[in-house]
Chain A
Amino acid sequence: MSCGDIRNGDVLFRHAFQPVAFKGQKFAIEKFWRLSVDQRGALLTSLAWQKYVPEVRDVHNHGCRMASRRNAAAKAAKKYSEKSRSVYCGAYAILASSIRRLPGQHNLAEVVSAHVLHHPEEGEIAHADLVVVLDASRVTDIEATKTAIIARLWMMSSGPLKHECADDTDLDEHPNSLLENAPRGLYRDLRSRLTQAWHRVRCRLCSGIMRRWVRA
């Protein structure tokens, strides 16, 4: 049993927050799939690996903790306001194999490789990095490349799984109603009950191992 290898059939989740994934009152796909450029010129973003968030409530708990941390950090930096409050709205799912198929796709010649790597971060053991390595000589314009990759990621996504965190029950109108349906349709957990039960057990076992490893 490997605790760190993400297999092609594994599901990963991308969490959506207001305001960062919205443009005013509209869900904005390019803001949601925000890709940053690292020092080597690779494109990066964060995901949560289903192996460590085996149930939908785990996916949402992860999202709520992220929003809570962002708000706490903004308050500590004295930059918090109700307008900038981070509100977790839900998550979208994508298969690891869909991401790994990015290189070699028609009209996406600048993508050399695409990886999903387990990378626990900020105490979140489910955190994974999406890394897209580019051939700089084939990049005409990095902004165009980002749009092309985001268009593919969105087309391969399913969801949303909407949620309202306990911290956000004071909102008159929750922004999760503004999330758009993904092109692949709503997320359906295709695992059998037996598999789901095994994944819960596996998550506990691997979480114990990984936490000890992270502490060490």
Chain B
Amino acid sequence: MQTKFYMQPLLVTTDAPVGGAAMLPDALGNYQSTTHVESASGSNLSLTLESQVFRTFASIPVISQTQLAAEYKDLGDALAQMQEINVGEDWSVEQPVYEAASYVATILRARAFPVPKVFNHGPASVVFNWRNINSELYLTVSGNGLSALISTPERITKRLDIKYSDEALLKPTEFFALILAYHVLEPLVLEVSSGTSESR
């Protein structure tokens, strides 16, 4: 009898490895990270270094905050360029849409979601997209609201629409829970059979 375990596919460290490159595990599968720890007493701010060793599955991609920040900066630059295209062109993003898309990107960054691809953009919307093995997540940001949907070959498994006028937007927990659920549940599947485990 087989049981499936779904694992979080991404680990984000609190600080950058030297040179900003992706971290690699040692022979035992351990990752070592050096973290800057700030502590304040009175008017003095001291900075100390604290080493951390943590372990994860070798197949899980590990990226640093710095790398994630760089990728989100690229996304921000791309959004700015879309807005700067001459108004009236098919690909020009209107100001309210640009502002909404930038805001959403900031929240995604703050919650350490993997950087999405820009699936489409036009005057009325920017569509972010993440792709997994069997499904796609589309996040449509328009001048009126946000919409997230997860589509598999068979059907749209989840969909959530929020208008900016909705109170739900002030507390979009459900919205980001949907995005988080997608990233947690999809990419890595461990199959356990007869008491042994194997990752793929």
Contacts and interface: CB of A to CB of B under 8 A. Distances in A.
A3 interface: no
A200 interface: no
Nearest to B154: A155
B145 A141 contact: yes
B152 A155 contact: yes
A107 B120 contact: no
A151 interface: yes
B80 interface: no
Majority-rule SS of B interface residues: strand
B149 A31 contact: no
Contact of A106 (B119, B140, B157, B163): B157
Interface size class of A (residues with CB under 8 A): 20 to 34
A30 B86 CA distance: 21
A41 interface: no
B156 A143 contact: no
Contacts of B104: none
A4 interface: no
Contacts of B151: 148, 151-152, 155
B159 A148 contact: yes
Interface in A61-107: 105-107
A46 B138 CA distance: 24
A140 B155 contact: no
Given A28-B119, A30-B127, 15 more contacts: A30-B119, A106-B155, A106-B156, A141-B161, A143-B124, A143-B125, A143-B142, A143-B144, A143-B147, A144-B147, A147-B127, A147-B140, A147-B149, A152-B151, A155-B152
Interface of A: 23, 28-31, 105-108, 140-144, 147-148, 151-152, 155, 183-184
23 contacts: A30-B119, A31-B120, A105-B156, A106-B157, A107-B159, A108-B159, A140-B145, A141-B145, A141-B163, A143-B140, A143-B142, A144-B142, A147-B127, A147-B138, A147-B149, A148-B138, A148-B149, A151-B138, A151-B151, A152-B156, A155-B151, A155-B152, A155-B153
- What are the 7 closest A-B residue pairs judged by CB atoms, nearest first? A144-B147, A30-B120, A143-B125, A107-B159, A107-B156, A140-B161, A151-B151
Interface of B: 91, 119-120, 124-125, 127, 136, 138, 140, 142, 144-145, 147, 149, 151-153, 155-159, 161, 163
